[in-house]
Protein backbone atom coordinates (compact mmCIF):
# COMPACT_ATOMS: atom_id res chain seq x y z
CA UNK A 1 0.00 0.00 0.00
CA UNK A 2 1.25 3.45 -0.93
CA UNK A 3 2.39 5.58 2.06
CA UNK A 4 1.32 9.24 1.91
CA UNK A 5 2.48 12.17 4.04
CA UNK A 6 0.43 15.37 4.24
CA UNK A 7 1.86 18.53 5.78
CA UNK A 8 -0.62 21.25 6.72
CA UNK A 9 0.07 24.75 8.05
CA UNK A 10 0.99 28.31 7.15
CA UNK A 11 3.97 29.63 5.18
CA UNK A 12 6.42 27.69 7.35
CA UNK A 13 4.85 24.52 5.96
CA UNK A 14 4.39 25.85 2.44
CA UNK A 15 8.03 26.86 2.26
CA UNK A 16 9.10 30.41 3.10
CA UNK A 17 11.50 30.58 0.17
CA UNK A 18 9.11 32.23 -2.24
CA UNK A 19 7.38 35.54 -2.59
CA UNK A 20 3.90 35.65 -4.02
CA UNK A 21 1.97 38.62 -5.31
CA UNK A 22 -1.74 38.62 -4.53
CA UNK A 23 -3.80 37.41 -7.44
CA UNK A 24 -1.02 35.39 -9.05
CA UNK A 25 -1.24 31.70 -9.77
CA UNK A 26 0.89 29.47 -7.62
CA UNK A 27 2.29 27.45 -10.54
CA UNK A 28 5.66 29.21 -10.62
CA UNK A 29 7.02 31.46 -7.92
CA UNK A 30 10.06 33.63 -7.50
CA UNK A 31 12.60 32.74 -4.84
CA UNK A 32 12.37 35.37 -2.10
CA UNK A 33 15.97 36.54 -1.74
CA UNK A 34 19.04 37.08 -3.92
CA UNK A 35 20.89 34.62 -1.67
CA UNK A 36 18.38 31.83 -2.42
CA UNK A 37 18.53 32.60 -6.14
CA UNK A 38 22.32 32.34 -6.05
CA UNK A 39 22.31 29.20 -3.88
CA UNK A 40 19.92 27.28 -6.13
CA UNK A 41 20.99 28.87 -9.43
CA UNK A 42 17.46 29.81 -10.48
CA UNK A 43 15.01 32.65 -10.11
CA UNK A 44 11.68 30.80 -10.24
CA UNK A 45 10.59 27.41 -8.97
CA UNK A 46 7.44 25.30 -8.86
CA UNK A 47 5.47 24.48 -5.69
CA UNK A 48 6.58 20.85 -6.11
CA UNK A 49 10.21 21.97 -6.15
CA UNK A 50 9.70 23.97 -2.95
CA UNK A 51 8.08 20.96 -1.26
CA UNK A 52 10.76 18.50 -2.36
CA UNK A 53 13.82 20.70 -1.79
CA UNK A 54 12.99 23.32 0.80
CA UNK A 55 10.00 22.58 3.05
CA UNK A 56 10.01 20.51 6.22
CA UNK A 57 7.26 18.37 4.65
CA UNK A 58 9.57 17.28 1.84
CA UNK A 59 12.48 16.61 4.19
CA UNK A 60 10.25 14.60 6.54
CA UNK A 61 8.86 12.64 3.60
CA UNK A 62 12.39 11.65 2.58
CA UNK A 63 13.29 10.64 6.16
CA UNK A 64 10.12 8.53 6.46
CA UNK A 65 10.58 7.07 2.97
CA UNK A 66 6.97 7.76 1.95
CA UNK A 67 5.73 7.25 -1.59
CA UNK A 68 3.96 10.58 -1.94
CA UNK A 69 4.10 13.96 -0.19
CA UNK A 70 1.33 16.55 -0.26
CA UNK A 71 2.03 20.05 0.99
CA UNK A 72 -1.15 21.83 2.09
CA UNK A 73 0.72 24.77 3.60
CA UNK A 74 -0.59 28.20 2.60
CA UNK A 75 1.10 31.44 3.62
CA UNK A 76 -0.95 33.95 5.57
CA UNK A 77 -3.82 31.58 6.27
CA UNK A 78 -4.98 30.24 9.58
CA UNK A 79 -6.33 27.08 11.13
CA UNK A 80 -9.71 27.38 9.40
CA UNK A 81 -8.06 27.17 5.98
CA UNK A 82 -5.97 24.19 7.12
CA UNK A 83 -9.01 22.29 8.31
CA UNK A 84 -10.92 23.16 5.14
CA UNK A 85 -8.10 21.78 2.96
CA UNK A 86 -7.97 18.54 4.94
CA UNK A 87 -11.74 18.18 4.83
CA UNK A 88 -11.84 18.74 1.06
CA UNK A 89 -9.05 16.22 0.54
CA UNK A 90 -10.71 13.63 2.77
CA UNK A 91 -13.92 13.85 0.74
CA UNK A 92 -11.96 12.72 -2.34
CA UNK A 93 -10.12 9.81 -0.71
CA UNK A 94 -11.91 6.63 0.32
CA UNK A 95 -9.33 5.41 2.83
CA UNK A 96 -6.96 7.47 4.97
CA UNK A 97 -5.36 4.49 6.76
CA UNK A 98 -2.17 4.85 4.71
CA UNK A 99 -1.85 8.59 5.44
CA UNK A 100 0.24 10.41 8.01
CA UNK A 101 -1.02 13.97 8.53
CA UNK A 102 1.15 16.50 10.34
CA UNK A 103 -0.47 19.81 11.27
CA UNK A 104 1.82 22.72 12.04
CA UNK A 105 -0.62 24.98 13.87
CA UNK A 106 -0.41 28.56 12.57
CA UNK A 107 -0.72 31.62 14.75
CA UNK A 108 -4.19 31.71 16.29
CA UNK A 109 -4.38 35.40 15.36
CA UNK A 110 -4.71 34.28 11.74
CA UNK A 111 -8.45 34.11 11.64
CA UNK A 112 -10.99 34.32 8.86
CA UNK A 113 -13.92 36.66 9.12
CA UNK A 114 -16.57 37.05 6.44
CA UNK A 115 -18.09 40.46 5.88
CA UNK A 116 -20.23 42.22 3.29
CA UNK A 117 -18.35 44.34 0.78
CA UNK A 118 -20.07 47.71 0.99
CA UNK A 119 -19.31 48.54 -2.65
CA UNK A 120 -21.13 45.64 -4.31
CA UNK A 121 -22.81 43.64 -1.55
CA UNK A 122 -20.63 40.58 -2.12
CA UNK A 123 -19.39 38.50 0.77
CA UNK A 124 -15.64 38.85 1.13
CA UNK A 125 -13.14 37.32 3.47
CA UNK A 126 -10.93 39.40 5.74
CA UNK A 127 -7.79 37.33 5.94
CA UNK A 128 -6.14 36.68 9.24
CA UNK A 129 -2.91 38.14 7.96
CA UNK A 130 -4.31 41.64 8.41
CA UNK A 131 -5.36 40.69 11.92
CA UNK A 132 -2.00 39.09 12.64
CA UNK A 133 0.13 42.06 11.65
CA UNK A 134 -2.38 44.77 12.62
CA UNK A 135 -1.54 46.77 9.49
CA UNK A 136 -5.15 47.60 8.79
CA UNK A 137 -6.16 49.19 12.07
CA UNK A 138 -9.73 49.92 10.91
CA UNK A 139 -10.32 46.28 9.97
CA UNK A 140 -8.79 45.10 13.21
CA UNK A 141 -10.95 47.41 15.32
CA UNK A 142 -14.00 46.33 13.32
CA UNK A 143 -13.19 42.71 14.07
CA UNK A 144 -12.74 43.34 17.80
CA UNK A 145 -15.93 45.40 18.01
CA UNK A 146 -18.30 43.16 16.04
CA UNK A 147 -16.84 39.65 15.81
CA UNK A 148 -14.41 38.87 18.64
CA UNK A 149 -15.69 36.78 21.53
CA UNK A 150 -13.09 36.44 24.26
CA UNK A 151 -15.08 33.63 25.89
CA UNK A 152 -15.39 31.55 22.72
CA UNK A 153 -13.18 28.72 23.99
CA UNK A 154 -14.89 28.45 27.37
CA UNK A 155 -17.48 25.76 27.82
CA UNK A 156 -20.23 26.57 30.30
Q: What is the pLDDT of residues 130-141, one digit of tens each?
A: 444 445 566 666
Q: pLDDT tens, 17-51?
A: 665 544 445 567 788 888 988 998 998 888 888 88
> Chain-wide mean pLDDT for the chain?
78
Q: What is the pLDDT of residue 132?
A: 47
Question: By mean pLDDT, which of 25-34, 57-66, 132-141, 144-153 is the weakest?
Answer: 132-141
Listed in sequence order, the residues at least 6 apart from 143 whose beta carbon sits closer than 8 Å to its beta carbon are 111, 113, 126, 131
Q: How many CB atoms lie within 10 A of CB 125?
A: 11
Mean pLDDT for 88-108 is: 92
Instruction: Look at 10-14, 59-63, 88-92, 110-114 and tell me which has the smallest mean pLDDT.
Output: 110-114
The CB density around residue 117, as the number of other CB atoms within 10 Å, is 9
The model's confidence at residue 67, banded by pLDDT at 50, 70 and 90, is: very high
> Can you state the percent helix, strand and coil of the chain, rounding each to 5?
35, 20, 45
Query: Which pLDDT band, with edges at 50, 70 and 90, does 119 fall under?
Result: confident
Q: Which pTM value belongs to this model?
A: 0.69
SS3 37: helix
Amino acid sequence: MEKILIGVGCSHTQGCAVQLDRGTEFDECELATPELKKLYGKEKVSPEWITENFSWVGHLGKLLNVDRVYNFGVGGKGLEANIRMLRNYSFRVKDLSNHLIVLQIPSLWRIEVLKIDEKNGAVIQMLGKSMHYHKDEKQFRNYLKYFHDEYFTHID
